[in-house]
C-alpha cells in the first residue's frame, strides 16, 4: 500500500513540511504518482521512516541519521548498542539526581538524617552516572569495552577516603599549576611538582600505575580536545592547557 504525504503525516505526527524537507535533503525520497506527480510512500519508504524516527528519538542529528542509513559498511546494531548504553547511563544519572533531591527534601523537613557516608555514596553515584552519560560511549570507542568495564568496577568500589584523596590531589595540582603559570616556567620546580601530582591523581582515578607514556597520551588529549582546553583555561587561567602540556612533556622526558 502506498501513502500520500498527508496520510504519512497523520500516521507519524510529522508535518507535511517536515516530510517535504526530508525529501529535499535526500533523507527520505518518496516515489511519485505518474498521474499527478504527488509524493507516494511505499513499503521501503515507510520502513526507512521508521528507522529515521527511531534515531531521532535518540537525539541523533539528521546528517548522522542519513549517514547511518546510506552507508552499508556501518554496523547499525553496534551504533544502537552505543546509543542504548548512553540512554541507560542518562537514566541512571536522572535516577541518582531524583534520589538525591528527594533525600535533600526529606532532610530539610526533618523527616530523616543523613550520615556523611550516605551523603558521599549519593555524590559518588551521581558523579559516576554523569561521567558515563557524558563520556561513556566515547571512552568505549577509544579504549575498548574491557578497559571501561575494569574502570567501572574500580570506581564503583572505591572508598570515601580514596575518593577524598583523589579530590585533594586534583585541588593540589591545579593550585600548583596556577602558581607555576605566574612564575612562567613550565620546566620549573613548581610546574614539575604539579605534573608529579597530576600523575598521582591519574593513578588514583584509574586504580593502576600511570606510565610516562600514559601521561603523555593525556597531554596529547589536553591539546587536541577543546573540552580540556575549556576546563583548564577556565579553571586555572587562559593559556593553561598549552602551558601544562609543555610541563608534562618536560616531566615525562626526565623520568
- pLDDT (tens digit, 9 = 90+) per residue, 152-179? 655 666 677 787 888 899 999 999 999 9
Least confident window among 52-56, 100-104, 177-181, 184-188: 100-104
Query: For residue range 121-133, what is the model confidence (pLDDT) as tens digits?
Result: 666 666 666 666 6
Least confident window among 2-6, 78-82, 145-149: 145-149
What is the domain extent for residue 151? 76-157
pLDDT at residue 76 greater than cutoff 70: yes
Q: What per-residue confidence (pLDDT) applies to 126? A: 64
- Domain identity same for 86 and 140: yes
Confidence class for position 194, pLDDT limits 50, 70, 90: very high
- Domain identity same for 164 and 249: yes
The CATH number of the domain holding residue 216 is 1.10.490
- Domain identity same for 201 and 247: yes
- Domain identity same for 238 and 172: yes
Q: What per-residue confidence (pLDDT) applies to 181? A: 94
- Domain identity same for 123 and 208: no
Q: Give the distance from CA 195 to its chain's centroid.
A: 25
Domain boundary among 135, 157, 179: 157
Q: What per-residue confidence (pLDDT) applies to 124? A: 63
Domain boundary among 157, 173, 188: 157
Domain total of the chain: 3
Q: What per-residue confidence (pLDDT) applies to 85? A: 77
| Cell 612533556, located at residue | 249
Domain boundary among 133, 157, 181: 157
Q: What is the mean pLDDT of residues 200-218?
A: 88
- Domain identity same for 148 and 110: yes
Query: For residue range 26-44, what is the model confidence (pLDDT) as tens digits?
Result: 999 998 877 777 889 999 9
Q: What per-residue confidence (pLDDT) applies to 7? A: 92
Q: What is the mean pLDDT of residues 179-200?
A: 95
- Domain identity same for 184 and 152: no
Q: What per-residue confidence (pLDDT) applies to 83? A: 77
- Domain identity same for 204 and 230: yes
Amino acid at each position: 500500500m502506498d501513502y500520500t504525504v498527508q496520510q504519512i503525516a497523520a500516521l507519524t505526527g510529522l508535518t507535511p513540511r517536515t516530510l517535504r524537507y526530508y525529501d529535499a535533503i535526500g533523507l527520505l525520497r518518496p516515489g511519485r504518482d505518474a498521474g499527478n506527480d504527488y509524493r507516494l510512500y511505499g513499503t521501503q519508504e515507510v520502513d526507512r521512516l521508521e528507522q529515521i524516527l527511531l534515531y531521532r528519538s535518540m537525539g541523533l542529528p539528521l546528517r548522522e541519521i542519513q549517514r547511518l542509513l546510506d552507508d552499508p559498511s556501518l554496523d547499525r546494531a553496534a551504533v544502537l548498542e552505543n546509543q542504548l548504553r548512553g540512554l541507560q547511563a542518562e537514566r541512571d544519572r536522572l535516577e541518582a539526581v531524583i534520589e538525591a533531591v528527594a533525600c535533600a527534601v526529606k532532610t530539610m523537613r526533618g523527616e530523616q538524617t543523613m550520615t556523611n557516608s550516605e551523603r558521599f555514596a549519593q555524590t559518588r553515584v551521581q558523579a559516576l552516572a554523569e561521567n558515563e552519560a557524558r563520556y561513556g560511549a566515547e571512552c568505549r570507542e577509544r579504549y575498548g569495552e574491557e578497559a571501561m568495564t575494569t574502570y567501572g568496577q574500580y570506581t564503583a568500589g572505591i572508598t570515601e577516603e580514596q575518593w577524598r584523596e583523589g579530590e585533594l590531589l586534583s585541588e593540589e595540582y591545579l593550585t600548583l599549576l596556577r602558581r607555576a603559570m605566574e612564575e612562567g616556567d613550565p620546566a620549573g620546580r613548581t610546574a614539575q611538582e604539579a605534573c608529579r601530582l597530576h600523575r598521582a591523581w591519574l593513578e588514583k582515578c584509574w586504580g593502576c600505575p600511570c606510565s610516562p607514556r600514559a601521561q603523555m597520551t593525556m597531554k596529547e588529549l589536553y591539546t587536541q580536545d577543546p573540552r580540556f582546553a575549556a576546563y583548564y583555561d577556565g579553571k586555572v587561567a587562559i593559556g593553561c592547557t598549552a602551558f601544562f602540556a609543555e610541563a608534562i612533556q618536560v616531566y615525562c622526558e626526565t623520568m
